[in-house]
Amino acid sequence: MKLNFSLMPANGPVQEQSVDFSHCVIAGWAGRDHAAIEHHIEELAALGVPRPSSVPLYYRVAAQQLTQDETVQVVGEDSSGEAEVFLFSHGGKHWVSLSSDHTDRKLEAVSVAMSKQVCAKPVARQAWAHEDVAAHWDALILRSWIIEDGQRTLYQEGTLSSLQPPLDLVEGCFGSRSMPAGTGMTCGTVAVIGGIRPAASFQMELEDPVLQRTLRHEYRLDILPVIA
């Protein structure tokens, strides 16, 4: 799957690059607070969502699910997005972008892996060099909004200090702090405000308050009918 990025190093010109992806990894249960993770696992288990076999857990999703389209199609009204950092390797460097791990919540009670696979994974069109943000990684702020009852509603907000550092996730998955070529990884998400719920429009951003810049992306759903 080919995605196009504006690669934006902190010092240097913007580079327009096309990147080929053959693998996509969703790093789930990627928080730093293990007690909080266990509490959330128990909450979801009470709703019928199976416990993860390990923490973190690295779900594999087909690379063709990655998209930069502004409209994505889903079947039924039971899916929702969640903002995540999207990490990939290009030109010998790690790059940081933004993605939504859009997930079918009804199917999640049957199979978390399948609930992720059936939904497209929207990705932003800009990326920062990881080396430019590594020293102040925990200060980066992840946010998302949904359109609810005609109003733009804050859905998620939190710093990346609540999540495992991205290269720790890479090492946990691949046994090395370098990502294989052609691989993209989402790196966990922050808590939802007011509970997980669907919405036809999803907006997300990653703010760097130190270098004073922001990555943004938004998409809308085209909801297809469920035909039995």
- CA 54, 48, 57: angle at the middle one, nearest 5? 15
Predicted pLDDT at 55: 87
The token duo for 133 is 């943000």
Q: What is the pLDDT of residues 48-100, one digit of tens each?
A: 778 888 889 999 999 999 999 999 999 999 999 999 999 999 999 999 999 99
Look at residue 91 in the predicted model and tell me its pLDDT: 92
Which string of b and e fits 107-142 if b means at least 16 CB within 10 Å? bbeeebbebbbbbbbbbbebbbbbebbeeebeebbb
* pLDDT in the model for residue 194: 93
Tell me how many domains the chain contains. Answer: 1
Which pLDDT score is estimated for 33?
A: 87
Q: What sign for the dihedral angle of Cα 100, 102, 108, 112?
A: negative
Residues 6+ apart with CB under 8 A from 38: none
CATH number, domain with residue 175? 3.90.850.10
What gap in Å lies between CA 227 and CA 140, rounded to an integer?
Answer: 42
pTM: 0.94
d(CA 108, CA 50): 8
What is the phi-psi region of residue 91: left when phi exceeds 0, alpha when psi lies from -120 to 50, beta otherwise?
Answer: left
* pLDDT, position 54: 87
Q: Which residues pair with 46 in a beta bridge?
A: none
Question: Exposed (0-12), middle (13-18) or buried (19+): which is 172, by Cβ within 10 Å?
Answer: middle
Instruction: Write down the pLDDT at residue 86.
Output: 98
- The predicted structure's pLDDT at residue 52: 87
Domain range for 80: 2-224
In the predicted model, residues of the chain with pLDDT beneath 50 are: none
